[in-house]
Amino acid sequence: MRTVRRALAIGAAALLVLATPGPAGAASVDGLVRVSGGSPFAGCAVGATPDSVVYPNAEVEPSVATNRFLPFEVVGAWQQDRWNDGGARGLVSAFSRDGGRTFRRSVWPVSRCARGGLNYERASDPWVSIGPEGTVYGSALPFDVNTPRNTVAALTSYDGGRTWRNVTVLLDDTQPQFANDKNSVTADPVRPGSAYQVWDRLEFSPDLTEFVGGPTYLSVTRDFGRTWSTPRVIVPMAPFQQTIGNVIVGDPRTGALYNFYTSIQYTDAAGSGIVFARFEVVRSTDGGTTWSAPSVVATDSSVQPVNPNTGQPLRTGFGLPFPAVDPRTGELYLAYEGSDFTGGRYNQIQLVHSTDRGRTWSAPVRVNADPSVPAFTPSIAVTTDGDVGVTYYDLRTLRPGNTTTLPTSTWLTVSPRGGRHFDAERQIAPVFDHNVAPDAGGLFLGDYQGLATFGDRFRALFVTTNAHQPNNRTDVHFGQFRPTDLDRRVPAGATAGATAGATAGATAGATAGAVAGPRAIGPAATRPAAATRR
């Protein structure tokens, strides 16, 4: 493996804010606000190939963060103008100064379609986090599709997301045997000015015929995002093994950091089989300087999600971990898609819980209300009262025999401390047709959606589709909810479409669902199988 270059700072000029604020009125139901708007990249042809299809005005994969000391500050980001074969034209951010009633948008300068952006054709995987002093950190995955170039980029806002500075390339991979993927950034909850970027970096043989491995890399800032450390490995992998979906959560009581990820062990260099796929965690008590050995959290039992009536693949959050920490107690939670309760037929939302700093974990519990239908793409957050909230999508309104539409519902469910009893839920958006979503290795709303908290409130940033709008297939919405807003559940399985899940997951690849939706970076199609999610 060649030496990784020291991070290179790319300019400090801030992007101008788009002049039009996001609509303040309810675009859906129950006070939802439509945050996305017209694309700032309209007409940009950078990143096209003969086989590529771009979905104009299509937004996917939002991330959201709140300032725990400023109740009115909310910042989000998403992919804008999604491509079918990996990434988007660029990344767009939105910020609110009034608790989410109105938003204004700005462009992240991380791709060539953005004015003054980095010299990469596409961008993916936006992530945001806010430090205790108010610094907003962003993470992005810029890459080329016509060359092997790819990187992880950091950027920072000091004015609540209005402008973005210190755009930094953390490493500059130009050879096709290296592929960076599934990045995230987390602000340290107790060390002002510190934040952590993590991701997996896949390595192949120079001739691209063999998979070598995919360890977790870390880069740290100690000066409020002005500079970042040289990336280094914090979770080494055995031959033919990789991580994916690295996400750090920090305990605001002690400052302990926990990096969760999916660990996949392949049988050989061709990736022709899987020995195991499981969720693991490593822990740091010294601000990311040293890390513990991995602890196993749960088995990844997810299967490939599909439309139960047609078999059309759905690209969801399966195979990825979604962690959270209770800010009062330090208890840890992990939500994920799994098929433990369906015998491998289709995925449900599952959750495990640790009370001893991640050393041991509970048996999984089912989170979603209706066990008879597929549920997917969880997001999780914990309030200061200890309430555990999970958002997810499910197919409970899909009727048997309906092959023309894919009605999909969006839910928030809440459990008291411990995450054992999710007995209250709320539908937080109108039912929408999933068939309208961009097709990117499956119908795609994002590998993740956004969920954060402030006090006793859950703040959700998520995607739904727009019917009969081929040039505006999706939009991003924001909603804010208290646990008292939720309804008590009807008995599980009492809804229509109870047979909808009967054939879901028939393409069960069982573990390692993360292989769905590989993204293109140069001649990637010639590589052995490995899990990528751009």
Q: What is the DSSP letter of 173?
A: B
Check if the beta carbon of residue 381 is closer than 8 Å to that of residue 450.
no
Q: Which whole number is the average pLDDT over 389-395?
A: 99
Q: Is the pLDDT of residue 291 over 50?
A: yes
Which of helix, strand or coil describes residue 351?
strand
Q: Is the pLDDT of residue 393 over 90?
A: yes
Please, what sign has the CA dihedral across residues 170, 176, 178, 179? positive
Q: How confident is the model at residue 489 (pLDDT cuts 50, 70, 90)?
A: low
The parent domain of residue 516 ranges over 8-526
How far is Cα 323 from Cα 438, in angstroms, rounded to an integer? 27
- Strand pairing class (457-465; 450-454): antiparallel
- Strand pairing class (274-284; 59-66): unpaired
Q: Is the pLDDT of residue 423 over 60?
A: yes
> Is 533 part of a structural domain of the chain?
no
Q: How far apart are the first and last CA of the chain?
A: 23
Q: Is the pLDDT of residue 173 over 50?
A: yes
Please, what sign has the CA dihedral across residues 351, 352, 355, 356? negative
Per-residue pLDDT at 488: 67
CA 154 to chain centre: 16
> Is 20 part of a structural domain of the chain?
yes
In one-letter notation, the amino acid at residue 506 is A
> Is 2 part of a structural domain of the chain?
no
266-270, 418-422, 472-476, range with the lowest pLDDT: 418-422
CA angle at 418 for the pair 416 and 422, rounded to the nearest 5°: 50
Per-residue pLDDT at 462: 99
Is 0.75 topped by the overall pTM?
A: yes
pLDDT: is 518 or 264 the higher one? 264
CA atoms within 13 A on the CB side of 266: 22
pLDDT: is 25 or 248 the higher one? 248
In one-letter notation, the amino acid at residue 165 is R
Check if the beta carbon of residue 449 is closer than 8 Å to that of residue 379.
yes
Residue identified by tokens 């969760």 is: 260
Q: Which whole number is the average pLDDT over 278-287?
A: 99
> Is 12 part of a structural domain of the chain?
yes
Q: Which whole number is the average pLDDT over 304-310?
A: 98
How far is Cα 413 from Cα 450, in angstroms, rounded to an integer? 15
Q: Which whole number is the average pLDDT over 411-415?
A: 97
Domain count for the chain: 1
Per-residue pLDDT at 519: 34
Q: Which whole number is the average pLDDT over 2-17?
A: 33
Per-residue pLDDT at 31: 82
Q: How confident is the model at residue 506 (pLDDT cuts 50, 70, 90)?
A: very low
Q: What is the DSSP letter of 57?
A: T
Q: Which whole number is the average pLDDT over 128-137?
A: 98
Q: Is the pLDDT of residue 516 over 90?
A: no
CB neighbourhood size of 265 (10 A) = 18
Check if the beta carbon of residue 199 is closer than 8 Å to that of residue 181.
yes
How far is Cα 462 from Cα 483, in angstroms, rounded to an integer? 18
Residue identified by tokens 């953390």 is: 170
Q: Which whole number is the average pLDDT over 466-492?
A: 87
Q: Is the pLDDT of residue 333 over 50?
A: yes
Mean pLDDT, rounded, of the chain: 90
> Is 3 part of a structural domain of the chain?
no
Beta-bridge mates of residue 127: 139
Burial, 325: exposed, middle or buried (Cβ in 10 Å; 0-12, 13-18, 19+)?
Answer: buried
54-58, 299-303, 480-484, range with the lowest pLDDT: 480-484
DSSP characters over 216-264: EEEEEESSTTS--PPPEEEE---TTEEEEEEEEEE-TTT--EEEEEEEE
Burial, 363: exposed, middle or buried (Cβ in 10 Å; 0-12, 13-18, 19+)?
Answer: exposed
Per-residue pLDDT at 529: 66
Q: Which whole number is the average pLDDT over 244-251?
A: 99
Q: Is the pLDDT of residue 21 over 50?
A: no
Q: Is the pLDDT of residue 380 over 60?
A: yes
Which tokens is 163 given? Answer: 């402008």
> Is 534 part of a structural domain of the chain?
no
Q: Which whole number is the average pLDDT over 456-476?
A: 98
Beta-bridge mates of residue 94: 76, 105
Closest by Cα among 125, 140, 133 to 158? 133
> Is 269 part of a structural domain of the chain?
yes
Q: Counting runs of H as helices and runs of E as strands, what totals does the chain give? A: 0, 34
Q: Which tens digit of pLDDT belongs to each residue from 62-89?
A: 999 999 899 999 999 999 999 999 999 9
Check if the beta carbon of residue 312 is closer than 8 Å to that of residue 297.
no
> Is 1 part of a structural domain of the chain?
no
227-259: burial string, b at 16+ Cβ within 10 Å, e else: bbbebeebbebeebbbbbbbbbbbbbeebbbbb
Check if the beta carbon of residue 162 is closer than 8 Å to that of residue 146.
no
Q: How confident is the model at residue 532 (pLDDT cuts 50, 70, 90)?
A: confident
Q: Which tens digit of pLDDT belongs to each residue from 145-162?
A: 999 999 999 999 999 999
Per-residue pLDDT at 2: 30
Per-residue pLDDT at 486: 87
Q: What is the CATH number of the domain that holds 154?
A: 2.120.10.10
Burial, 329: exposed, middle or buried (Cβ in 10 Å; 0-12, 13-18, 19+)?
Answer: middle
How far is Cα 392 from Cα 395, in angstroms, rounded to an integer? 11
Residue identified by tokens 């990096």 is: 259
Beta-bridge mates of residue 95: 75, 104
Q: Which tens digit of pLDDT belongs to each residue from 440-452?
A: 999 999 999 999 9
